[in-house]
């Protein structure tokens, strides 16, 4: 009896495998059609921060004559799905492609390099740390302008032309990628630069931790947006805006 039960169990498992494995294969093959993906997506890698020391007598080209600087790059590469709206081939063999982007995924990165000379004062080093922190804080919400840029691309039509069909398609897609990238960079970099204005205004005379000043600069930016600040010698930076010392 025991052998009979074991045989039935084995047959049942074999039947499940015969039915289940093909079903799994079919599911994998048709998964893209069965599951709808969001038309706009953003993938954001963690910011990468590096601090490097250089010889003031032979500074890197990007640093120039500065004792220190913070270099950053808001990267945005896009993965695009599309459908061809119109395709023609002229008598000269040139393909003309008109297409619409149906899905856009922005892949964001933020490498930051803090360059410090061997003779840079500690105060200046702390200021550069603040510059890097501002970039990081702006990057926290960077998915918002990235999504907006992708959404705008879905509303546009893009054109490409070439004697090679795929190159014509790629030309149209590259226009979309470049638009998404530029709109995103314009949004995040303009915010960083404006917050820098406020931060750098206070930084020379700031005595509290750098994080506190970064918070203050971001808050002032959000409340009133940057304005042209006076730098007259008879008024301290803090007195120019809120009267604090």
Q: What share of the chain is helix, strand, coil (3-state, %, to 5)?
A: 50, 25, 25
Please indicate, yes or no, whether the overall pTM of this predicted structure exceeds 0.85. no
CB-based contact 81:96 (threshold 8 Å): no
In the prediction, which pLDDT does 179 show? 98
pLDDT, position 244:
39
Helix (H) or strand (E) run with residue 239 in it: helix 237-241
Number of domains the chain is built from = 1
Strands (E), the chain: 40-44, 48-54, 68-72, 75-89, 95-109, 111-117, 157-162
What is the full per-residue pLDDT of the chain (245 aa) written as tens digits?
Answer: 555 555 665 655 655 556 565 655 655 555 544 445 689 999 999 999 999 999 989 999 989 888 999 999 999 999 999 999 999 999 999 999 999 999 999 999 999 999 999 998 999 999 999 999 999 999 999 999 999 999 999 999 999 999 999 999 999 999 999 999 999 999 999 999 999 999 999 999 999 999 999 999 999 999 976 554 444 333 333 333 344 33
The CA distance from 56 to 147, in Å, is: 42
* Three-state DSSP class for residue 236: coil
Can you tell me the distance from the alpha carbon of 207 to that of 211, in angstroms, rounded to the nearest whole number? 11
Strand partners, 80: 104
Measured CA to CA, the distance from residue 173 to residue 187 in angstroms comes to 22
What is the distance, to the nearest Å, from the Cα of residue 126 to the centroid of all Cα atoms in its chain? 25
Tell me which residue range forms the domain holding 87. 39-241
pLDDT of residue 38: 84
218 found inside a domain: yes
Nearest to 120 by CA among 170, 161, 160, 63: 63
Tell me whether residue 12 is in a domain.
Answer: no
């Amino acid at each position: 009896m025991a052998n009979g039960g074991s045989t039935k169990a084995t047959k049942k498992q074999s039947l499940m495998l015969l039915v289940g494995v093909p079903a799994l294969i079919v599911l994998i093959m048709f998964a893209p059609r069965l599951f709808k993906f969001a038309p706009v997506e953003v993938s954001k890698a963690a910011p990468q921060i590096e601090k490097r020391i250089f010889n003031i007598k032979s500074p890197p080209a990007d640093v120039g004559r500065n004792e220190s600087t913070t270099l950053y790059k808001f990267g945005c590469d896009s993965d695009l799905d599309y459908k061809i709206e119109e395709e023609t081939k002229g008598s000269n063999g040139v393909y003309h492609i008109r297409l619409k982007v149906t899905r856009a995924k922005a892949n964001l990165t933020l490498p930051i390099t803090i360059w410090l000379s061997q003779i840079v004062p500690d105060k200046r080093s702390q200021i550069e740390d603040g510059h890097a922190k501002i970039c990081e804080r702006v990057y926290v919400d960077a998915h918002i302008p990235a999504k907006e840029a992708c959404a705008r691309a879905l509303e546009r039509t893009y054109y490409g032309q070439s004697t090679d069909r795929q190159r014509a398609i790629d030309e149209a897609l590259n226009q979309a990628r470049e638009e998404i990238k530029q709109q995103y960079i314009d949004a995040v970099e303009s915010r960083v630069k404006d917050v820098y204005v406020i931060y750098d205004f206070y930084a020379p005379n700031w005595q509290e931790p750098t994080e506190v000043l970064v918070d203050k600069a971001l808050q002032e930016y959000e409340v009133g947006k940057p304005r042209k600040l006076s730098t007259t010698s008879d008024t301290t930076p803090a007195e120019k805006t809120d009267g604090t010392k």
